[in-house]
Amino acid sequence: MDLPALSLSELRDAIAAEKVSPVEALDALDQRIAAVDAKVHGYLSRNLELAKRNAATADLSKPLGGVPIAIKDVINVTGEPCTCGSKILLPYRSNYDATVIQRLRAAGAIPFGRTNMDEFAMGSSTENSAFGASRNPWDLTRTPGGSSGGSAAVVAADEAFAALGSDTGGSIRQPAALCGIVGLKPTYGRVSRYGLVAFASSLDQIGPFTKTVRDSALILNAICGKDPMDSTSLDVPTPDFTSLLGRDVKGLKLGLPREYFIDGIDPQVNAAVRAAIKHYESLGAEIVEVSLPNTEHAVGVYYIIATAECSANLARFDGVRYGHRASDATGLLDHYGRTREEGFGPEVKRRVILGTYVLSSGYYDAYYLRAQKVRTLIRDDFTKAFEQCDAIICPTSPEPAFKLGERADDPLKMYLADIFTIAANLAGICGISIPCGFAETDGKRLPIGLQLLGKPLDEARLLQIANAYEQSTDWHRNRPPVV
């Protein structure tokens, strides 16, 4: 049995049937990583011995019993590093588990391996990682997307059965699309953020990367729910997210936002998404046109709100309680200024500066407050659209994976890569990216992602709609050519 090629569900079934032990699964994964990760660079670290000790106590009767799951290096796991892709956290070791890790363990899963990311989740390509970019398993000269690019790349390259990532403006859905796998951003407040190192607290949400839609539902079942340690986690009933899987989509309405089919979408992406829409029609779904008139403002609003929140959140990196500390400071201001200069990379510095500026005296109303008001309009757009449809259908990313280095030094162009994903974070709704085809570029096949956006807390329906497409197509069965 080619263990690393299994999906999470397949591995769990094999473990439940005692065909495979968790330790065998870990060993197989470790060998796969040793064989391919020098090329993909999806992992920053892994601790096989610690994972095997955890495997010995994992409850195999639980829904994720004995299954290893890779963790983005922004989520605290006891005894492991949590660099956030930054030099400033290089000396840090976690001495507690994030709530999602406690819940994964309670469901029988074993955290194994820490995945690469843009520094503090700021970026769309992993090129902002202080430890070097990850590479797309479909074409090693291209980005896997970001910020959770490592998590996407390792699942696509069969170096993980599934992974956790975080999504602030598309950081789960965009890399999932570019790597040809499933990525789910739950509704804001569905999953506790306790133990997730904060980037933009009103936008951040943890979610899974998986090879199938069902696997995402299983992980969401394990990690969701109210948490007293996160006051923004919602106290709402948590359904079984697998409960609607397998049902058809006859009579369901899918909304096509007219503002999303703009000039500048790659023609192959446009064609694949339009074919997917036709496919849904053939499955019995009804396509309705909806309008999200404030779409053009989403990127601007996002880069004010996200940078404002990041400048406040990253103030905690002061060289006193954890992380890097500049040596031989001449005083407190010198200590802060140099600790942060030495510890942060260029994109983090840019965003801290922008965020500080938009919050500074005299500019707050013009930038931050105005952005929060436009955010209300964007959220209202979705509320109105969802009166006409059960989910919204659109591309995840306007183009397939771009070349590494192509836009590393053009922040504005990089920011526009998130144009279709950002609004869901501003509105707090749930979204998923699933594979829907390939673009042929330079003789390589590059995955294309289809994005479905759902009503708040309607993940079960979203997963049903995604599953119906996946189970009637073959895209998710394609594996990348890497090694």
Which residues are part of the catalytic machinery? Answer: 72, 147, 171
Report the candidate in 308, 416, 391, 396 with the shortest Cα–Cα distance to residue 353: 308
The interface with another protein within residues 284-313 (CB under 8 A) comprises 294, 296-297, 299-301, 303-304, 311
Query: Is residue 264 at the binding interface for another protein, with CB under 8 A as the rule?
Result: no
Q: Of these, 268, 356, 441, 478, which contacts another protein (CB under 8 A)?
A: 356
Size of the site for another protein (CB under 8 A): 75
Q: With contact defined as beta carbons under 8 Å apart, do 429 and 381 qualify?
A: no
Query: Is residue 411 at the binding interface for another protein, with CB under 8 A as the rule?
Result: yes
The interface with another protein within residues 185-224 (CB under 8 A) comprises 188-189, 202
Least distance CB 406 / another protein (angstroms): 16
Query: Is residue 95 at the binding interface for another protein, with CB under 8 A as the rule?
Result: yes
Query: Is residue 325 at the binding interface for another protein, with CB under 8 A as the rule?
Result: yes
Query: Is residue 232 at the binding interface for another protein, with CB under 8 A as the rule?
Result: yes
Least distance CB 31 / another protein (angstroms): 33
User: Quick one: 72 or 375, whose CB is closer to another protein?
Assistant: 375
Residue type, 173: R
3-state secondary structure 186-203: CCCCCECCCCECCCCCCC
CB crowding 316-328: b at 16 or more within 10 Å, else e: ebebeebbbbbee
User: Quick one: 175 or 345, whose CB is closer to another protein?
Assistant: 345
Least distance CB 473 / another protein (angstroms): 32
Q: Which two tokens stand for residue 396?
A: 């995840």
User: Quick one: 336 or 479, whose CB is closer to another protein?
Assistant: 336
CB crowding 437-473: b at 16 or more within 10 Å, else e: bbbebeebbbbbbbbbbbbbbbbbbbbbbbbbbbeeb
CA distances from 481 to 132, 138, 478 (A): 22, 6, 9
CA 334 to chain centre: 36
Query: Is residue 384 at the binding interface for another protein, with CB under 8 A as the rule?
Result: no
Dist CA 59 CA 76 (whole Å): 21
Q: With contact defined as beta carbons under 8 Å apart, do 121 and 168 qualify?
A: yes
Least distance CB 139 / another protein (angstroms): 28
Q: Could you give the 3-state DSSP secondary structure of residue 287? A: strand
User: Quick one: 238 or 357, whose CB is closer to another protein?
Assistant: 357
Least distance CB 177 / another protein (angstroms): 23
User: Quick one: 2 or 365, whose CB is closer to another protein?
Assistant: 365
User: Quick one: 415 or 438, whose CB is closer to another protein?
Assistant: 415
Least distance CB 325 / another protein (angstroms): 4
Q: With contact defined as beta carbons under 8 Å apart, do 43 and 116 qualify?
A: yes
Query: Is residue 52 at the binding interface for another protein, with CB under 8 A as the rule?
Result: no
Q: Of these, 324, 407, 444, 455, which contacts another protein (CB under 8 A)?
A: 324
User: Quick one: 247 or 384, whose CB is closer to another protein?
Assistant: 384
Region of 225 on the Ramachandran plot (φ > 0 left; ψ -120 to 50 alpha; else beta):
left
Query: Is residue 412 at the binding interface for another protein, with CB under 8 A as the rule?
Result: yes
Report the candidate in 298, 472, 452 with the shortest Cα–Cα distance to residue 389: 452
Q: Of these, 48, 106, 277, 329, which contacts another protein (CB under 8 A)?
A: 329
Query: Is residue 443 at the binding interface for another protein, with CB under 8 A as the rule?
Result: no
**Placement of tokens 């183009």 in the chain:** 399
Dist CA 319 CA 328 (whole Å): 12
Q: Specify the stretch interacting with another protein by CB under 8 A; choose among 159-167, 267-275, 324-332, 442-450.
A: 324-332
Query: Is residue 379 at the binding interface for another protein, with CB under 8 A as the rule?
Result: yes
Query: Is residue 91 at the binding interface for another protein, with CB under 8 A as the rule?
Result: yes
Dist CA 357 CA 351 (whole Å): 10
User: Quick one: 52 or 226, whose CB is closer to another protein?
Assistant: 226
Q: Could you tell me which residues come within 8 angstroms of residue 331 by beta carbon, excluding any fewer than 6 positions away?
A: none
Q: Specify the stretch interacting with another protein by CB under 8 A; choose among 15-23, 97-105, 240-248, 410-418.
A: 410-418
